[in-house]
Structures are given as structure tokens and as C-alpha cells.
A and B are shown apart, each in its own frame.
Chain A
Amino acid sequence: MLSLENVSKFYDTRWGRHRVLNHVSLRLERGENIGIVGRNGAGKSTMIRLIAGAERPTSGRIRRTMRVSWPLAFGGAFNTHLTGLDNLKFVARVYGVDYRPLIPFVEDFTELGEFFHEPVQHYSAGMMTRLAFALSMAIEFDCFLIDEALVVGDKRFHDRCHVELFEKRRNRAFILVTHDSNVIKLYCKRAAVLHEGRLLDFETVDAAYDFYEETLRVKPEVQE
């Protein structure tokens, strides 16, 4: 189970406190999934960082009784001076698993070849994304956090991600966050809209979709 209870998040800005999330609550059981749509600046990535545990909420509570991943395919958590292999070792050590059995999968999925032993700073954007995704898959989680990760990459990468995530791991929980409501329609059983700091839950994905499409027509109140 993963739950957010009345979570609010403020950031200090030069013109005062800026509220990004306003009493957001959410509950996700094992095997469930939810798509969260919101326009640019709605607080989607903030929400993902809070759920991942990279930041703490200003108020409210986040509870996790299942293993929640770091944001999927998130390349920022790399150390760019290290090689792909060293990054795998680091991640494996942090999560307390042996890295050796994971090497074949990562090598195969990333198709990095010799670059697996090169510092990540020499990688192309595509290589980095493949490594990031492979590392997220190499560690076992009950719930994946997906922050628009599947939008990037070429078709081959896209298809392979699809297989790994939505076929091989279809019994896992996930939270997919995006500004593209079509993606949500494709993958999610449930949907919510992040709008003006609030998380609005909807009965059906279609209802969320319609509401979101409507909000896109209106000029946002708060500019980032």
C-alpha cells in the first residue's frame, strides 16, 4: 500500500511562499495503477519526488508498505563520472542486492556494448535513457513511478520498455504522471487530474480525460 494523506508542499520564492500541492490524498494498493494528468507546472514532478521520498512534504504524511521505485528512467540520479557498470553497482548496493546477476539483463537491454564500461558523461541522450530505464528494471519494486519517461526514446526503445513494464511486470502497481492524457487512456485503469494544487479523482479514465481537456482551454491562474 502507498498512501498520501493531506499532503501539501510549499516552495519559498522571492515573492513569498508558493503552494504547489494543496492537501493531496491518494491511496494505491498492490497491483493497482493510476494515471495522473496535469498541465505544465501543475506539480506533477513535485508529487513524484515526494512519493519517491527525495523531498519531504511541508505537511501531511506519506506511507509506503510496498517497495516504491525511484522515478523511472530518471537519468539525473546518475553519477556521470562513473561508467554504466559502476552506476549499476551503486544502485544495487543502495538497494541491497548483488549486482553481478543483473549485468546480463542491463547489458542486453541497454545495447551499450563497450560503452557500458565508459563514463556516462560520454553517452548520448538515448544511451542514458536506456541505461536509466534498465537500472530501474534491474531492481525489484512493487510500485513504479513513471514521470513521462515513456515519451522519450525511439520506437524500438519504446516497444522494449512496453514489454518490460506493461507485459512482464503487469501485476505491479504504478503511478504514471504525464501531460499527455492519451498515454493515460492507453495504460491506466484509474485516472486523476492535478489541477491548481489539488488532486481530483474521477470515476473513469474518460471522465478525467474530458475534465483535463477542458482545463487546457483555460489560461492558467498561476504562472510558474
Chain B
Amino acid sequence: MQVDESPTFLQSLSIQRRVLHALLMRELVTRFGRENLGLLWVVGEPMLFTLGVATLWSLAGISHGGHLPVIAFAVTGYSSVLMWRNSATKCADGIRSNQNLLYHRAVQPIDVLLTRIALEVAGATGSFIILSSFFVFIDWMKPPVDPTQVLEGWLMLAWFGGSLALLLGGGCAFSDLVHRLWHPTAYLLFPLSGAAFMVDWLPAKFQQAVLLLPMVHGVELLRQGFFGAAVRTHYDIGYMASFCAVLTLSGLYVVREATRRIDF
């Protein structure tokens, strides 16, 4: 253990590493440990949802732009939503619910937020992989045409979710409104996020509007990777990356300011 007066960069790095490790182990036990079936639900919940949506769509006879397989469409859509929404939601009250841990000086708000982001990204990724593999295995959907594009789209969605989570997590230290407003916002964003439609199906003027939302680009890229030439996609990863970069910087700034003004 070092004395924490002006640690060097390498010391800081090692402190941060062990704090993140401690927080991660702690969250894993809290969430997935013991009585509740946490780990099962990471996959179980999106699976139920996906099956439900697929059933509804099949029953309603929605053709979905003609010929896209419903299951694959639902898996890619809902997994994407989980990816950007969960880290943000978990971080929106992340500092408050872990406030007492800050009594340990080495534990900083940024550590608490990074831990939650890492867990959510891992959880969503795990559920996406398991769910897709399962449906591919029972032949309800086909494996992706271009896994690299799928990975790119997925990573972009993770970046978006993570940077949004930092901003919301830090913002909550300034006002409870951030937390309260995030929930309705998330619900409103869900139908607009590209989870349940392809941009190409929309009239041109709606396309432009919906493409202002960064996550739409990620979902489109993901589906490009999944369906290949079967779909016409619209995305601009440069736009999404710039958006995420700005979001990340603002997020880091807000978290730093939040750290200064945390009151018990």
C-alpha cells in the first residue's frame, strides 16, 4: 500500500487497477451471487423478450420489409438496446448507491462508474453471443454474414453506451432530475433507436431525422454484418464516432466536476 500523497502515474495506475478489481468482484457477488439467479437472468431476460417480440410479430403477420427473418431481427435489435441502455441506466444512480464506498479514499466516482459500464458491456455481450448461438444452433436464425462488421457495430454501441453512462452518472451528482428524466428518455429513444426498424424502410425525411441519433448507425452496421446483401443500410460511423468522442469528453469532465462536489 502506498501513501497517497501525489502518487506517480504508475502508482495511480496500480491503485486504479486494484480498486476496479475490488469493485468488480464486489458487484459480481452482489449481483450474481448466492440466492438470486443473476447470471441466468443476464441471458434469460433478453431471451424472453426476444421470443415474445418474435411471437407477436409472427402472429401479427408483420412482414418487416418483406423478407427479414424475425428472430434474427429481434435478437440484433433488442441486444443493441440492452447494449446502450443498460450501462446508462446502471450508472444514472451509480454514484449515489455506492456513495459510502467513497469513504475509502482510493475509491473514486469514476471507478464506480467504470465498473458498472464494464459489467453491463460484458453482460450484454454475453447475452448477445449466447442468444445468437442458441438460435443459430436450433436453426431459427443464420450466423452473421460478416462477423467483423457485427463486431464493429457492437463496439460502437458499447462506446456510445459507456460514454452516455459517464455523462449521466456524473450528471446525477448535480441534479436528481438527470436520473428522473433518463428513464422516460430511454423509453422514448427505444422505438427511435433502430431496434425495431431498418432506416431504409422509412420515408427519406424521417431517415435524415432518425440518423441524427448515434445508436441508429451502430445498429445499422450491426445488421449489415448480420444480413449482408439482403438489406440496404444507412450509416456513417464517422458521425457516430465523433458523437461518442464528444460524449466521452463531456462525460469525463462532468464526472470530474461531480467528484469535487459530492456531499454526504
Contact = CB atoms under 8 A, between A and B. Distances in A.
Contacts of B25: 89-90, 93
Interface stretch (B69-77, B85-93, B95-103, B224-232): B95-103
A86 interface: yes
B262 interface: yes
A95 interface: yes
A54 B103 contact: yes
Contacts of A91: 104
B105 A54 contact: yes
Contact of A55 (B30, B106, B107, B263): B263
Task: Give the interface SS of chain B, mostly helix, strand, loop or mixed.
Answer: helix
A81 B170 CA distance: 25
Contacts of A65: 3, 5
Interface residues of B, number: 28
Contacts of A12: 263
Contacts of B5: 63-65
A141 to B, nearest CB: 9
Interface stretch (B16-24, B57-65, B153-161): B16-24
A212 interface: no
Contact of B104 (A64, A70, A86): A70
Max count, chain B CB within 10 A of own CB: residue among A65, A79, A139: A79
A97 to B, nearest CB: 7
Contacts of B4: 53, 64, 67
Given A52-B105, A93-B18, A64 B3 contact: yes
Contacts, number: 80
Interface in A74-99: 74, 76-79, 81-82, 86, 89-91, 93-97
A54 B103 CA distance: 5
Contacts of B106: 94-95
B183 interface: no
Given A49-B264, A55-B264, A82-B26, A96 B101 contact: no
Given A54-B102, A76-B100, A95-B106, A67 B18 contact: no
A74 B5 CA distance: 23
Interchain residue pairs A-B with the least CB separation, the first 8: A53-B105, A93-B22, A77-B103, A76-B100, A70-B103, A94-B22, A54-B103, A65-B5
19 contacts: A52-B105, A55-B262, A55-B263, A56-B261, A56-B262, A64-B4, A66-B3, A67-B3, A70-B103, A70-B105, A74-B103, A77-B104, A79-B30, A82-B26, A82-B29, A86-B29, A93-B18, A93-B21, A96-B14
Interface of B: 1, 3-5, 14-15, 18-19, 21-22, 25-26, 29-30, 100-107, 259-264
Interface of A: 11-12, 49, 52-56, 63-68, 70-71, 74, 76-79, 81-82, 86, 89-91, 93-97, 139-140
